Amino acid sequence: MKIGLQFAMPAEFHALPGAKELEPFETISGVPFYHLAPDVVACAGGVGKVNAAMAAEIMCRRQEVDLILSPGVAGCMTDLPTGSLVIASDLVQHDMDTSGIGDPVGMVSTVNQTEFPTWKPERCVEILKELGVSVTTGRVATGDWFAMGGQRAEWIRDTFHPLLLEMEGCATAQVCLRNNVRFAALKSVSDHLFNENQVQEFFDFGQALENLGAVVLPLALALAKETED
């Protein structure tokens, strides 16, 4: 399979060994794309759902990938240690709400679903464990909000029961669904929503980036060898 690595922030992409020295082979709509291996391309598409969706559409249509892997840092709803790696089991969009006309909270119109499953999360976990990496699985909630502790975070926790919150993954999953492209997500815990020092924790996320950068490309290379069923 051809794999697309879709990061949000350049800092996440630059966590890959040698990434800072790479030159893009093309730039589309302001998004630079890089060759990492014969069957692996990467980009840093920007923060938030619109940027993620735009980059994902380019990945699907122009780069013609078979699977998009969404690596990045994420806030944690529990006490997983900083730098813990999580393979998303499924994703939701916590800021989608057409419940006023009778839809379930979180349902994404047009595709008409709330939960977006990932491609073979158990196989992704197996690959990482074969690489000697400790990893867990859980739901990831996406929305255009830098998630912080408080009533809104508590509502998201009690409504969707996610392990992690971030700002891009489920938008990419939605684009992949509409393009019949496989989707997977690997996240690294950067901060904890109900920690009073959350903001300071986020801006000191070197360990989260280091742990993420060490495993993203090995996972992508292993996925490239998988069959496409």
Please name each of the domains of the chain with its CATH number. Answer: 3-223 (3.40.50.1580)
Amino acid identity of residue 228, one-letter, is E
The DSSP bridge partners found for residue 188 are 73, 85
pLDDT of 19 reads 96
- What is the arithmetic mean of pLDDT over 48-61? 98
Contact 43, 32 (CB under 8 A): yes
Q: DSSP secondary-structure letter at 19? A: G
Per-residue pLDDT band for 89 (boundaries 50, 70, 90) equals: very high
The pLDDT of 20-44, averaged and rounded, is 97
Higher pLDDT, 121 or 228: 121
> CB of 188 within 8 A of CB of 211?
yes
Mean pLDDT, range 217-228, rounded to an integer:
91
For 101-110, which contacts have Cβ atoms below 8 Å and span 24 or more sequence positions?
Answer: 105/159, 106/159, 106/160, 108/174
- How confident is the model over 96-120, as pLDDT tens digits? 999 999 999 999 999 999 999 999 9
Q: What is the token pair recorded at 5? A: 């690595």
Res. 187: pLDDT tops 70: yes
The overall pTM is greater than 0.85 = yes
* C-alpha distance from residue 126 to each of 5, 103, 161, 222, 223 (Å): 19, 37, 24, 11, 11
In degrees and rounded to multiples of 5, residue 70 shows phi and psi of -100, 95
Percent of the chain with pLDDT over 70: 99
> Residue 184: pLDDT above 90?
yes
Cα–Cα distance between 112 and 41 in angstroms, integer? 30
d(CA 204, CA 191): 9
Tokens of 72: 């990045």
Structure tokens at 78: 């529990």
Token pair for residue 135? Answer: 């990893």
Q: Is the pLDDT of residue 228 over 70?
A: no
The stretch 31-39 carries a mean pLDDT of 97
Mean pLDDT of 117-146: 96
Instruction: Report the pLDDT value the prediction gives residue 229, as an integer from 0 to 100.
Output: 62
Q: Which stretches of the chain are assigned E, i.e. beta strand? A: 3-7, 26-28, 31-37, 40-44, 67-76, 85-93, 116-117, 135-142, 164-166, 182-192
Q: Give the pLDDT score at 227.
A: 73
